[in-house]
């Protein structure tokens, strides 16, 4: 879980837990979903797709869309590899150029 949690009691437990988490992180890293800018898709369409698929509110959808537009690409989701594949598939279904990559360690 995240680093703000209370540490577990006992050195042995904490150590094995840390090892388990490290192993899990190596075996199942988080994946990022990126959407890339293109000159064809309308800005309002990209905004709509983000609202529809990711459930973003209008302000967040617009902010992510503008990040795509201004910076060339933006991360729109992070999660398991399977989740990332599903998100990329949905974006491709809408005609957006999306890719996935392991979250940089």
Partner 1 sequence: MREFSATADGYRAWLTEPERWLISEGILRTIEVLRKTYDNAKWLIDATSSSRNDDDSNLSEQDQLAAELIDEAMGSSAINLARPDSSAALRLLPDASDDPDVAQHYRELTQQGLTELKHSRLVELHKTLTNVADSPDPAHHDPFDVPSANADAVLAALSDVRLVLSELLEIHDELASEELQERVLSTFFTVGGEDPDNGPPDVSPDDLVAATFVVVGYLQQSLVDGMLERFDPRGK
Is the four-CA dihedral 18, 21, 27, 29 of positive or negative sign?
negative
Which CB, 10 or 93, lies closer to partner 1? 93
Task: Based on the shown chain and the rule CB under 8 A, indicate whether residue 104 belongs to the binding site for partner 1.
Answer: no
Does 39 interact with partner 1 (rule: CB under 8 A)? yes
Least distance in angstroms from the C-beta of 103 to partner 1: 13
**Contact in structure between 96 and 41 (CB atoms under 8 Å):** yes
Q: What is the dihedral of CA 83, 51, 90, 70, to 10 degrees?
A: -100
Q: Of 11, 26, 27, 40, which one interacts with partner 1 (CB under 8 A)?
A: 40
Q: Is 47 in the site for partner 1 (CB under 8 A)?
A: yes
Report 52-81 residues binding partner 1 (CB under 8 A): 52-53, 55, 57-58
Identify whether the C-beta of residue 100 lies closer than 8 Å to the C-beta of residue 33. yes
- Please give the structure tokens belonging to residue 3: 């680093």
From 45, 60, 78, 79, residue interacting with partner 1 (rule: CB under 8 A) = 45
């Amino acid at each position: 879980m995240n680093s703000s949690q209370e540490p577990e009691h006992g050195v042995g437990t904490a150590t094995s837990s840390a090892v388990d988490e490290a192993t899990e992180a190596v075996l199942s890293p988080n994946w990022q979903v990126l959407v890339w800018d293109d000159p064809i898709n309308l800005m309002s369409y990209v905004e709509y797709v983000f609202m529809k698929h990711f459930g973003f509110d209008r302000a967040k959808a617009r902010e992510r869309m503008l990040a795509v537009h201004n910076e060339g690409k933006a991360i729109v989701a992070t999660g398991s590899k399977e989740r990332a594949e599903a998100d990329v598939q949905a974006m491709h279904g809408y005609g957006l150029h999306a890719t996935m990559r392991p979250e940089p360690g």
